[in-house]
Structure 1
Amino acid sequence: MEINSENVANNEQISEVVVVIVPTQAQGHLNQLLQFACLVSSFGLSVYYIGLANCNYQVRIRANALNPSDIAKIHFHDLPNGRGGKIPSVWDTCMLLQEPIASFIRDMSSKSRRVVVVHDYLMSYNVQVVSSLPNTESYVFSCISAFSSCSLKMLDIQLEDQELLKKLPSLEGILTDEFRDLLASQHRYKDIRSGDIHNTSKVIDGKYLDLLAQAEFNLNKKQWAIGPILPTKLDHRNNICFEWMNKQPPNSVLYISFGTTTSFSDRQIKELAVGLEQSKQKFIWVLRDADRGDSFTGEARRLELPKGFEERVKNVGLVVRGWAPQPEILAHSSTGGFMSHCGWNSCIESITVGVPIAAWPMYADQPRNGFLLTEMLKIGLIVREWEKREELVSASTIENVVRKLMASDEGDVIRKRAKELGEAVRCSTEKGGASRMELDSFIAHITR
């Protein structure tokens, strides 16, 4: 969704409203909520973004798609990283930051007519102070698709096609016991919120947004679907990726990235490398291990490729071992496909620019996101069925999926469908579009 100066309102009432953003301390959540912070700030509101000092630094330097001048308007409030500067685990931060966050919100409450706290569901425990402050209200920002949200909340998903229902990935194995306990610990604070904000569009998720709105636990809670919140006009900055991509034909490059929390075995990396080489399709592969607690200290595990691989594919593919500007790569005219773990951040970025996905989900909401893209929206192909998640994905399987997506009539049809959906989604964020109207409604509500 585009941020522009027309949003800025010289309204005395608005200046009295302060928005406090409280993300879960993991890259996919940090990123979405920073995009949201910039969008809200463009309406002239004062926006504070709370996080561990390390995570605030990380999200700023990785914010490729956002304009630095928009980020500069956000007030970052750094919390101490921990004892001795050690970064706590994501799960610890969901339960150990209550005191400093509550102190900050109370301080804002004493200085403002209204404080609007927008937080991840997983940070509900940390923001419970809002229920004791009369001029403070909170809203949960949903970082997953409405379809996946319905699934995880065990709502009855009705699919007209019974054969399709049989293909629906099971929920077995999607969450660890630790994560289930974390969700349960947040559940008791769900009623402190006044409503929910969804980073999705009615164009993508309309039926399931309606299902969520009608759910018993959402009665009397307002709902807004304002996505995609990603800027729709992206600049291709100086980067080795773009120097290479600018020389490639349209729709010819497969972009491969599995997010910041996925680690592959050495054996699986080898199979992926062999499959890509045998497919003879152009590719950019972001080859990096999962983020650790502190992404800026210590040695990361170096992922090893088959001997001579990079030399053999140098005219066909590019291996990137550092952080890559994913939104801009996906928006580049030479990109024709995206092999992804199907985190919602990646899905919404790909959908927005009309790039089809080779879906390889790993855990959590990803299997259902992959199903939404491949089976329901029909803008992708599955690499590995969820029921086979414990199995090694062979080079031949990878080769076949890559060829089908990038160099077949079926792939061309999928790509055409993805581009049409992308156009519809982008239109929904423009003036008069469904997502833009929902955003305007949310801003009007919090500045009432």
Structure 2
Amino acid sequence: MENDVVVVVVPFVAQGHLNQLLHLSRLLTAYNLPIHIVGSTTHNRQAKLRIHGWNHDSENNIHFHEFETPHFESPPPNPNSTTKFPSHLIPSFKASSNLREPFAKLLAEISNTARRIIVVHDYLMSPVVQDVVLFPNVEAYAFHGASAFTTFSYIWEQNGKPCLDDVESYTQLTKIPVVEDLIPQDFIEFVTTHVDCKKFNSGNIHDTCKVFDGKFIDYLSKEGLCGSTKQWALGPFNPVSINNSEEPTKRHKTLEWLDKQAQDSVIYVAFGSTTSFSNEQIQELASGLEKSGQKFIWVLRDADKGDIFKGESRNIELPKGFEERVEGKGLVVREWAPQLEVLAHVTTGGFMSHCGWNSSMESITMGVPIAAWPMHSDQPRNATFITEVLKTGVNVGDWGCGGDVITSSVIEKTIRLLMDSDEGNEMRKRAKKIGEDVKQSVEEGGLTHMEIDAFVSHITRK
């Protein structure tokens, strides 16, 4: 049976990237497009295990292609590293290049029965998809998993930081902290040795929304990116409404705990899948949470290992008697938590976050302001976007990426500001308004809905 248009999705192997493109796949299946997801056996399993907000097993049009990659030695996360970049994951990043051959074979199979194949690939997977040039009926679109503000900021810097017509945007861009020297050399080499995807790029896809990021999408359209000026802001990829009507026995304990709290009274504390705090920083954070007097949920996990299914996890110790002292006031979770559902809960009023773009988009969508504590990579730029552009967040002290410990007093002060001050209340109002606007954008006639319609019309054109 011949298919008209088939979409092949190639995510990068880090959790944040896996999550975003799995969510995008769900959106595209609504247009009756068959989706083929290419990944390693381990990382496909990881992505499916952690997806939240919908059930991937119910989507008959999503097909996972799982390929074994060579064994790689991945050291455990180092909580005492002077930088917070997850260097221990680099071996798994490099191993992903072995997906090139099975990807090309899959394309060869599908190209015989499809009028057109649309390859949506994380730009970090350009080496894997480079053989798209061998197939006349294939178009490739590069995915950039950050805000348009963040993505444009790199181009702006590469061009010598030119003055912009928009004075406000220029001022906001100049407030980005300089942190590139904290990225390890072997990762820089991994990125710079990538195949330049300009020669096969038909457009760029962003998990962002024109409601709040449209100005910088327009800038990217003028500048071009990876050889194309076509920019598609298809976000939010994550679901914007959550069904909380599940059987009580199926609901996560965090949601049951939130049910008993007052509206906007809880700060959710989570730092994603690539952050490892030192024991000293854990102690300071625990003390800051306790002294703040605010209700909290704290997801206390170490960074992901290269293979999350192998090896022992670090046992992180809290101050003696901490959990007993905060009982009823705070909840410590030592496992993967349903973050999207937590942020959507009416009693969640703030989010202390590393500002990875997944977490940032989920927080923006659910109208929750952020206490921004970025660690590495695009996170400082995302934090600048949240605090300086959207004005829906506050920084946790000064930039703390160089291995510096942020003290309990700074953490306490930040939490009180976000959760129990007029300034924090104003941030919450702005966050809720943006969240409402984003949710409206995915409805028929909204900006995101029209953008996805336009993208699908483009890739399915006759």
Q: Are positions 1:415 and 2:428 aligned together?
A: yes
Q: Deviations over 1:233-283 (max 9, x none)?
A: 112351111111000000000001000011000000000000000001000
**How far did residue 188 of structure 1 move?**
2.0
Aligned to 1:6: none
Q: How does 1:206-285 map to 2 (within 5 A)?
A: 206-217=214-225, 220-236=228-244, 237=246, 238-285=251-298
Equivalent of residue 196 in structure 1, options 204, 209, 232: 204
Is the partner of 1:118 in helix, strand or coil?
strand
Aligned to 1:4: none
Alpha-carbon distance in 2 for matches of 1:80, 1:111 = 25
Alpha-carbon distance in 2 for matches of 1:174, 1:72 = 43
Q: Give the aligned length.
A: 436
Aligned to 1:61: 49
Taking a change above 3 Å as real, the CA distance of residues 295 and 71 of structure 1, as seen in their structure-2 partners, is farther
Is the partner of 2:203 in helix, strand or coil?
strand
Q: Are positions 1:182 and 2:174 aligned together?
A: no
Query: Counterpart amino acid of 1:36?
Result: L
Aligned to 2:458: 445
Q: Is the 8 A contact 2:148 2:216 kept in 1?
A: yes
Q: Is the 8 A contact 1:358 1:383 kept in 2?
A: yes
Taking a change above 3 Å as real, the CA distance of residues 180 and 326 of structure 1, as seen in their structure-2 partners, is same
Taking a change above 3 Å as real, the CA distance of residues 220 and 360 of structure 1, as seen in their structure-2 partners, is closer
Q: Are positions 1:355 and 2:368 aligned together?
A: yes
**How far did residue 95 of structure 1 move?**
2.6
Alpha-carbon distance in 1 for matches of 2:312, 2:236 = 35
Q: Are positions 1:31 and 2:19 aligned together?
A: yes
Q: How does 1:73-152 map to 2 (within 5 A)?
A: 73-83=61-71, 89-152=91-154
Q: Deviations over 1:189-218 (max 9, x none)?
A: 333111011110112211111111111545
For structure 1, which segment, 131-140 or 188-197, has the greater mean C-alpha deviation from structure 2 after superposition?
Answer: 188-197
Q: Is the 8 A contact 2:267 2:351 kept in 1?
A: yes
Taking a change above 3 Å as real, the CA distance of residues 300 and 387 of structure 1, as seen in their structure-2 partners, is closer
Q: Is the 8 A contact 1:54 1:81 kept in 2?
A: no
Q: Is the 8 A contact 1:173 1:363 kept in 2?
A: no
Aligned to 2:82: none
Alpha-carbon distance in 1 for matches of 2:63, 2:224 = 36
Identity fraction in percent: 48
Is the partner of 2:103 in helix, strand or coil?
helix
Alpha-carbon distance in 2 for matches of 1:113, 1:279 = 60
**How far did residue 90 of structure 1 move?**
3.3
Instruction: Please tell me the root mean square deviation across aligned C-alpha atoms, in Å.
Output: 2.1
**How far did residue 18 of structure 1 move?**
0.9
Query: Counterpart amino acid of 1:18?
Result: V
Equivalent of residue 48 in structure 1, options 33, 36, 39: 36
Alpha-carbon distance in 2 for matches of 1:216, 1:434 = 21
**How far did residue 220 of structure 1 move?**
4.6
Query: Counterpart amino acid of 2:319?
Result: P
Alpha-carbon distance in 1 for matches of 2:394, 2:114 = 50
Alpha-carbon distance in 2 for matches of 1:149, 1:85 = 32
Equivalent of residue 380 in structure 1, options 388, 393, 400: 393
Alpha-carbon distance in 2 for matches of 1:25, 1:234 = 26
Equivalent of residue 346 in structure 1, options 359, 367, 382: 359
For structure 1, which segment, 105-114 or 80-89, has the greater mean C-alpha deviation from structure 2 after superposition?
Answer: 80-89
Aligned to 2:80: none
For structure 1, which segment, 349-358 or 80-89, has the greater mean C-alpha deviation from structure 2 after superposition?
Answer: 80-89
Taking a change above 3 Å as real, the CA distance of residues 368 and 82 of structure 1, as seen in their structure-2 partners, is same
Taking a change above 3 Å as real, the CA distance of residues 191 and 70 of structure 1, as seen in their structure-2 partners, is farther
Is the partner of 2:193 in helix, strand or coil?
helix
Is the partner of 1:17 in helix, strand or coil?
strand
Taking a change above 3 Å as real, the CA distance of residues 24 and 93 of structure 1, as seen in their structure-2 partners, is farther
Is the partner of 1:392 in helix, strand or coil?
coil
**How far did residue 284 of structure 1 move?**
0.4
Equivalent of residue 437 in structure 2, options 415, 420, 424: 424
**How far did residue 97 of structure 1 move?**
1.9
Q: Deviations over 1:31-87 (max 9, x none)?
A: 000000111111111101111111111111111112345445310100114349999
Aligned to 2:302: 289
Taking a change above 3 Å as real, the CA distance of residues 21 and 217 of structure 1, as seen in their structure-2 partners, is closer
**How far did residue 415 of structure 1 move?**
0.3
Alpha-carbon distance in 1 for matches of 2:364, 2:295 = 21
**How far did residue 442 of structure 1 move?**
0.8
Is the partner of 1:381 in helix, strand or coil?
strand
Equivalent of residue 16 in structure 1, options 4, 19, 43: 4
Taking a change above 3 Å as real, the CA distance of residues 72 and 259 of structure 1, as seen in their structure-2 partners, is farther
Alpha-carbon distance in 2 for matches of 1:437, 1:220 = 21
Alpha-carbon distance in 1 for matches of 2:228, 2:273 = 36
Gaps of 5+ in 2: 75-88
**How far did residue 296 of structure 1 move?**
1.4
Alpha-carbon distance in 1 for matches of 2:72, 2:378 = 34
Q: Deviations over 1:294-334 (max 9, x none)?
A: 11121111111111101110110000000000000000000
Structure 1 residue ranges (4+ consecutive) displaced by more than 6 angstroms after TM superposition: 84-88
Length-normalised TM-score, structure 2: 0.90
Alpha-carbon distance in 1 for matches of 2:212, 2:11 = 24
Aligned to 1:8: none
Length-normalised TM-score, structure 1: 0.92
Taking a change above 3 Å as real, the CA distance of residues 176 and 394 of structure 1, as seen in their structure-2 partners, is same
Alpha-carbon distance in 2 for matches of 1:109, 1:221 = 27
Aligned to 2:78: none
Alpha-carbon distance in 1 for matches of 2:357, 2:444 = 25
Q: Is the 8 A contact 2:122 2:142 kept in 1?
A: yes
**How far did residue 150 of structure 1 move?**
1.2
Query: Counterpart amino acid of 2:188?
Result: R
For structure 1, which segment, 64-73 or 124-133, has the greater mean C-alpha deviation from structure 2 after superposition?
Answer: 64-73
Aligned to 1:301: 314
Q: Is the 8 A contact 1:344 1:366 kept in 2?
A: yes
